[in-house]
Amino acid sequence: MSVARSLLYAAANLLHPRMLWLMVWPMLVALALWGSVALVAWGTFAVRLAVWLQQALDYALSWSHVDFATAALVAANVLLFIAFVPLVYLTALFILSVFGMQKMVGYVASRSYPQLERRRGGGIAGTGWNGLAAFAGMLGLAVVSIPLWLLPPLWPIIPLVILGWVNQRLLRYDALAEHADAEEMRRLFRRHRGTLYLLGLLLALAAYIPIVGFFAPVLFGLAFIHYLLGALAAERAAHNGALSPI
């Protein structure tokens, strides 16, 4: 199944009342949490970040004798917004992975893959460990990319690249945990690495689009489920065909 077909099937599934509810409440919780933090601390963070940026610009461009105070404050608010959006949707995505993905998998499987055997290669503990690994990987990538943040043209690109990896890491596990065994999961993750990353990157982009970003976690969660269950069904069919007598 292609990425486009996975997204089309996912968009159709959004109309179901259970999917609509899953679309709403994790995002509302995440918005309430980070909105409260932003209400209290945004101004302080913006001023402190602007001072640091102004000092860096004054040092790097000391020959220009230009006052960068206004530009630094604007840049600080832009950077905070770039950080705020993924914090909201990643929180919603984590809530969804813990409380909603099993329901989504069950819904998609019952409608599109009712005959697909459930080998239960993952579980709740695996979901928790996968979430921790995604968080640790995000921090590691952020640290490694620090030198690149000194180049302003890369500011919008760096978080997208990092979040594309985090998104696919969070969603791929729960999409397959119920139906695939551990070896099938490893094999499919390796074989479809590029496509899964593309889906994760599209989710990172969609999060910044007004309205679309609100239901993006559920939409792409469903897309991951459709894509990976389709890939698992195709792999098993090919394997069974190869084993069947001539």
What SS3 state is found at 145?
coil
Residue 216 is assigned to a structural domain of this protein: yes
Write out the chain's pLDDT in tens, 246 residues.
789 999 999 999 988 888 888 888 888 999 999 999 999 999 898 888 888 877 776 666 665 666 667 778 888 888 888 888 888 888 888 888 888 888 899 999 999 999 999 998 988 888 888 888 998 999 899 889 888 877 778 878 888 999 999 999 999 999 999 999 999 999 999 999 999 999 999 999 998 888 888 888 889 999 999 999 999 999 999 877 655 444
Dihedral pair phi/psi, residue 134, rounded to 5°: -65, -45
Based on the structure, what is the number of domains in the chain?
A: 1
Domain contains 29:
yes
Q: Tell me which amino acid residue 19 is.
A: M
pLDDT score recorded for residue 244: 47
- Residue 102, domain member (yes or no): yes
Q: DSSP characters for 55-82? A: HHHHHHTGGG----HHHHHHHHHHHHHH
Residue in 174, 163, 242, 230 with CA at minimum distance from that of residue 199: 163
In this prediction, residue 119 carries a pLDDT of 93
Task: Give the residue carrying structure tokens 């697909």.
Answer: 116
CA distance 73 to 75: 5
Task: Estimate the crossing angle of helix 124-144 against helix 69-99, to 10 degrees.
Answer: 160
Instruction: Confirm if 172 and 189 have CB atoms less than 8 A apart.
Output: yes
Distance CA 68, CA 71 (A): 5
Domain that holds residue 183: 3-36+83-235
| Residue 57 forms part of a structural domain | no
- On whether residue 188 sits in a domain, the answer given is yes
User: Does residue 113 sit within a domain?
Assistant: yes
**Does any domain span residue 115?**
yes
Q: Is residue 42 part of a domain?
A: no
